[in-house]
Amino acid sequence: LGAAAAAAAAPEAQAEATRRLLNRVADAAFRVIDEDGDGRLDAAEFSGAVLLVLAVANGKAAPDAPILRRLAFRVVDEDGDGLVSERELLRWVRLALEHGTAPAGAQLEPRGPFGLFGTRTLTPAKLTRKWLRAADSDGDGALSQDDFALLAPSLRVHEVIASLARRFAV
């Protein structure tokens, strides 16, 4: 009976975690859409948001669209310090791999010169470090918004969010 109750609680706990994440996304989305930072959406900001939602919902949003990069940065930067740390990035790399939104073959790395010895599969932590090193322009171990813009198309945070939203009704 205890195991059955725990099994029933697991989906509820996962759904609650997803709701918290989506609430965070909603807050980050508002901060990105509110371009002038006045805490209100004017008609132009609202119209832009509606068009973005429609483009994402219809699969027509370019993964490198500036507004999607800004949204992704705000969502991934959990502590709001203006930098994405390795820990913050790792969470989203795992989600991108889990939801199949990472580029095909992202975890594969050639072994030896020109892949002479085949390939190896990178763990999410190693893939995170690889992407972080590739995008970290100043070598401080964290990504600024400009650094993160290089990774945003690969991470596809908006697709992970859409996948989570479809999985759990909120």
pLDDT tens for residues 22-41?
777 787 778 778 878 898 98
Per-residue confidence (pLDDT) for residue 12, from 0 to 100: 82
Q: What is the pTM of this model?
A: 0.72
**What pLDDT shows up at residue 4?**
53
* Confidence band, pLDDT 50/70/90 cuts, at residue 6: low
% of the chain beyond a pLDDT of 90: 34
**Cβ(125)–Cβ(90) under 8 Å?**
yes
Which band of pLDDT confidence, cut at 50, 70 and 90, is reported for residue 17? confident
**Structure tokens given for 41:** 């959406």
Burial readout 27-48 (b: 16 or more C-beta within 10 A, e: otherwise): ebbeebbbeeeeeebeeebeee
pLDDT tens track for 36-95? 889 898 998 888 888 877 777 777 777 677 877 888 888 889 888 999 999 999 999 999
Q: Which tokens is 70 given? A: 């800004």
Residues 6+ apart with CB under 8 A from 141: 85, 86, 132
> What's the pLDDT band for 1 if we cut at 50, 70, 90?
very low
Q: What is the model's pLDDT at position 139?
A: 95
The 10s digit of each residue's pLDDT in 144-154 is: 999 999 888 88
Give the gyration radius of the chain's Cα atoms: 18
Q: Is the pLDDT of residue 134 over 90?
A: yes
